[in-house]
Amino acid sequence: MQLYENLQYSDLTSRSADADWRSFAALDQQVQRHGLVFMPGLLIGHNVAIGDDRLGRESRLCEDYARRFATSPGLLWYLNGDYVLDPARHAFDVRALWNRWLVSSYRNRAQWFETWGDSAAGLTWGDLNFPPADSGRWDDPAALTGPRSSTG
């Protein structure tokens, strides 16, 4: 099998420009003309620690690409790889998502405080930094980031 992998779209805006879509179409046409399997990597190397707005823009790009090239033969759907995890680049968004997840994971502040124990000391429920402080303990609930089961 011959495969052409294109690590193509590196700077995402809310919508691809017409010139980008023409380039994508020309590349798809050339790959098909030469009988290659085409592997378009739309989000290669993109940071996965992002907020809702950027995730929405990336999702729309992938949806648009899939819709435009749905009938292309030999297209291998590989939209992301070589992930980057860099929460500092979008620290405000990541912090908001972290706190939203914690609020949805624990029934209330009391359950969170009971579960986190000493790790919760001095912290404000709903306004926690990400990542949580590392105590170095393997059993630190702040590091494990999940509520205890009813059996544990």
Band of pLDDT at residue 97, cut at 50, 70 and 90 = very high
Kindly state whether residues 43 and 9 are assigned to the same domain.
Answer: yes
Kindly state whether residues 96 and 62 are assigned to the same domain.
Answer: no
45-56 residue pLDDT tens? 888 899 999 898
Kindly state whether residues 101 and 52 are assigned to the same domain.
Answer: no
For 17, 42, 70, 75, 79, the CA distances from 61, given in Å and listed in that order, are 11, 8, 14, 17, 10
What pLDDT is recorded for position 146?
A: 44
Long-range Cβ contact pairs of 112-121 (< 8 A, separation 24 or more):
112/147, 115/141, 115/147, 115/148, 116/141, 116/142, 117/141
Q: State the residue range of the domain holding 63.
A: 3-68
Q: What is the pTM of this model?
A: 0.73
Strands 3-7 and 37-41: parallel
Task: Please give the average per-residue pLDDT across 111-126, as a whole number.
Answer: 88
- Domain annotation covers residue 152: no
Kindly state whether residues 56 and 93 are assigned to the same domain.
Answer: no
- Domain annotation covers residue 83: no
Number of separate domains in the chain: 2
